[in-house]
């Protein structure tokens, strides 16, 4: 069973091609024009053991917001599409992981219902030339379009780069657990019969 998806999105602000393989090895080719964001998405693919290819062109002369949010929309759509009917998946995933002085929890439910909670505050407005608030905007877009619950909690941390990196790594690991096929689960993991 192939659990892959390809998404093409073109608006007046962005042009994005994204391919996702849930059962990959963590390989990635990421080109968004936003260096720090490329770094985060590369970490996400590696720690999620998902193969991810993204080619994005956005109106970076305006700012990074449209590019980052629209990639989040596409990644969420790809996750939803690649999961299909969700038969046999683990469904839930949760991780608490350190990143140097930072500790992050990410919890996921591939429920078919979008809900996003983010208890994270960045100590700086910028990470290099990247707007810190775009981390939350990105994951909100992923959650909404994947129709999943995603809760992010920063327990402690002082370095904005480490906080952002912790979020991407921890969420990748939580999703890796949630999308995994459970050998004991023969149906859709819900009493409703569908997710």
User: Domain extents for the chain?
Assistant: 4-179
For the stretch 35-76, pLDDT in tens is: 999 999 999 999 999 999 999 999 999 999 999 999 999 999
pLDDT in tens, 147-189: 999 999 999 999 999 999 999 999 999 999 999 999 999 889 9
pLDDT tens-digit readout, 119-153: 999 999 999 999 999 999 999 999 999 999 999 99
Look at residue 192 in the predicted model and tell me its pLDDT.
86
Give yes or no for a contact between 178 and 108, defined as CB atoms under 8 angstroms apart.
yes
Cβ atoms of residues 110 and 143 within 8 Å: no
- Give, to the nearest 10 degrees, the angle between helix 35-48 and helix 160-179: 30
Taking the domain 4-179, which CATH number applies?
A: 3.30.230.40
What is the C-alpha radius of gyration for the chain, rounded to an integer number of angstroms? 16
pTM for the whole thing?
A: 0.97
């Amino acid at each position: 069973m192939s659990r892959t998806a390809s998404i093409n999105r073109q608006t007046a602000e962005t042009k994005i091609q994204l391919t996702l393989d849930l059962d990959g090895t963590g390989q990635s080719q990421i080109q968004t024009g936003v260096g720090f964001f490329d770094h985060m998405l590369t970490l996400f693919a590696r720690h999620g053991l998902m193969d991810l290819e993204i080619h994005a062109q956005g109106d970076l002369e305006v700012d990074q917001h449209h590019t980052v949010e629209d990639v989040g929309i596409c990644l969420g759509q790809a996750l939803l599409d690649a999961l299909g009917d969700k038969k046999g998946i683990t469904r839930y995933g949760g991780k608490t992981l350190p990143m140097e002085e930072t500790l992050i929890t990410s919890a996921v439910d591939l429920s078919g219902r979008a809900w996003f909670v983010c208890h994270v505050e960045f100590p700086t407005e910028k990470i290099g030339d990247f707007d810190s608030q775009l981390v939350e905007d990105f994951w909100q877009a992923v959650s909404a379009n994947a129709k999943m619950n995603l809760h992010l909690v920063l327990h402690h941390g002082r370095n904005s780069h480490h906080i952002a990196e912790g979020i991407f790594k921890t969420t990748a690991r939580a999703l890796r657990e949630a999308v995994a096929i459970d050998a004991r689960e023969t149906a859709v993991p819900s009493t409703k019969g569908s997710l």
